[in-house]
Amino acid sequence: MSERMAVARAYEKALFAGRMDEVASYFTDDIVYWVAGAPPLGGEWRGKEAVIRAMETRAAGLGAADWGYEDVWRDWYDADDRVIVEIRERSWLQHAPADVMDQRTAVIIRFRGDRISEMRDYTDAHIYEEFLARHRSELPKFKA
């Protein structure tokens, strides 16, 4: 396993565990985090502090809620100056388990040296838009 792959997997493990200080340690100071789609579903954050804040508040996507989650698969690829991960995951609101989002995502994690300098998250924002149309009033991020 390359050093880039080891860092990318350690970053993801720390992110899922909520260890944001460790997550930040894997980033360059000028990291760029881009998520497909227009705000508030997608957007771009620049700099370590802004990226960490966006991750903590779940600024991209549908935001924090009482989610159920299933990790279906992840395929990792090592490339020149990047790691690519293809993801298939399912999620649902705990009180509406029959309405499942089946999301496929590709994330490109670029490196400068041994640190992550850019992440591009190609999530299908249309799936989020359709789910939002059905559940807007139940999602804290979108309540008036």
Domain boundaries, the chain: 3-142
State the Cα–Cα distance between residues 40 and 60, nearest whole angstrom: 7
pLDDT digits (tens, 9 = 90+) for 14-60: 999 999 999 999 999 999 999 999 999 999 999 999 999 999 988 99
Q: Give the pLDDT score at 143.
A: 82
Instruction: For the domain covering 3-142, report its CATH number.
Output: 3.10.450.50
Examine the pLDDT at 144 and tell me if it is beyond 70.
no
8 A C-beta contact, residue 76 and residue 8: yes
Residue type present at position 55: M
Q: Give the pLDDT score at 142.
A: 92
Q: Give the pLDDT score at 64.
A: 87
Q: How many CB atoms lie within 10 A of CB 96?
A: 13
8 A C-beta contact, residue 67 and residue 93: yes
Q: Give the pLDDT score at 132.
A: 95
Q: Say what the pTM is.
A: 0.91
* 3-state secondary structure at position 92: strand
